[in-house]
Each structure stands twice: as C-alpha cells, then as structure tokens.
Amino acid sequence: MTEPSSSFIRENVVKDAATGDIYIPSSRRPDGTWRKPIKVKQGYVPQEEVPIYESKGAQIAKQKEKVKKTIPGAIFVDDLEREQKEKIKKTDKTEGLSKRMSEIKISTKITPEQIEADMRQKKARKLKKLLREIEQIEEKMNKNQPVEKEQIEKLKKKDDIEKELNELGIEDD
C-alpha cells in the first residue's frame, strides 16, 4: 500500500510527497488482516521523542560546564573560593564533633547502687507528680468546683505520699 512517491520521516512514519500528508503506513496483523494507514497531524511529536524537561538551574549549570570546558587551563575565582569555604566548613564540623565525642564518658559497669539510686529518683518523681495533682484538686475544692470520687480518694492519700517522700530522703517542694 505504500506509494513509491513517499519518503521516510522517522520510524514507522511516512510523508506522502504528492499530498504532503504524514501517516503511519498500513501493516499486517498476526492474524493476517490489514490495519488501515493512520494519518498523523502536522507537528505531532510522539511521547518517546519529546525532550526531557530541564529546570532553569540545570540549564545554567550545563552552560557553565560548557564554558569551563571551552577555556583550557582557566581557573574561576568563584569556584575556588566556594571550594575553600566548603573544606573549612567540613573540617570545623569534624573537629567539633571529635571534641564532643572525646568528652563523652561511657561506663560499661553499672553498679547496684546506681540502679537503686535511679529507682529512688524515679519513685520520687512519681510521688511529686501525685502531690501536684492533689494540690490541684485542693484548689478546685477551694473554688467550690465539682470533684470526682477518685479525686477525693487521692486527697486521703496525701499524708502517706509525703511520708514516703521523706523516707526516700527527698523533701517535697
């Protein structure tokens, strides 16, 4: 079906010299039937052939690279200053980090006394929090605001909590 007066444009696309139309020529399917030729609109570019989008920054960077390559032996002052500043920043970061790392002391031996002291501190924090909550409940009661049954039970435990704090050797604030 392809006429002798047609010319090849790109893969599977032909331009008819007589009419100037661009079309995809007819082809044979695997079952033996023929596909019709498909007319292609003027200016159509297939998706595979569309150039990939490049941002302005990428275009400028490419242009700079081209300029650098065209001037043999050229050393640009901007690039040297930037590289030196980056090297200084990197060395400052590594020196600061190495100082901090050397100051850190890690003990691999944890004594039972340390564990016991940590447990006492944890319990003291818990008890202090309970005392703060009790003080808030007391303030509510002084303002004649409604108080729940569980909160009243908490108020009854105030003396026990203070005794427990004193036993731990920690004064309540």
| C-alpha to C-alpha distance for 127 and 125, rounded to whole angstroms | 5
pLDDT of residue 79: 64
What are the backbone angles phi and psi of residue 15, rounded to the nearest 5°? -110, 130
Helix, strand, coil shares, percent, the chain, to 5:
55, 10, 35
Structural domain contains residue 141: yes
Residues 76/82, Cβ–Cβ less than 8 Å: no
Q: pTM, whole model, 2 decimals? A: 0.38
Name residues of the chain where pLDDT drops below 50.
1-5
Structural domain contains residue 129: yes
Structural domain contains residue 61: no
Structure tokens at 156: 């009854």
> Looking at the 3D structure of the chain, how many domains does it have?
1
Structural domain contains residue 142: yes
Residue 24 makes CB contacts below 8 A (sequence gap 6+) with: 12, 13, 14, 37, 38, 40
| C-alpha to C-alpha distance for 141 and 172, rounded to whole angstroms | 22
The residue segments making up the domain with residue 118 are: 112-168
Structural domain contains residue 46: no
Residues 13/24, Cβ–Cβ less than 8 Å: yes
Give me the half-sphere count of Cα atoms (radius 13 Å) on the Cβ side of residue 21. 10
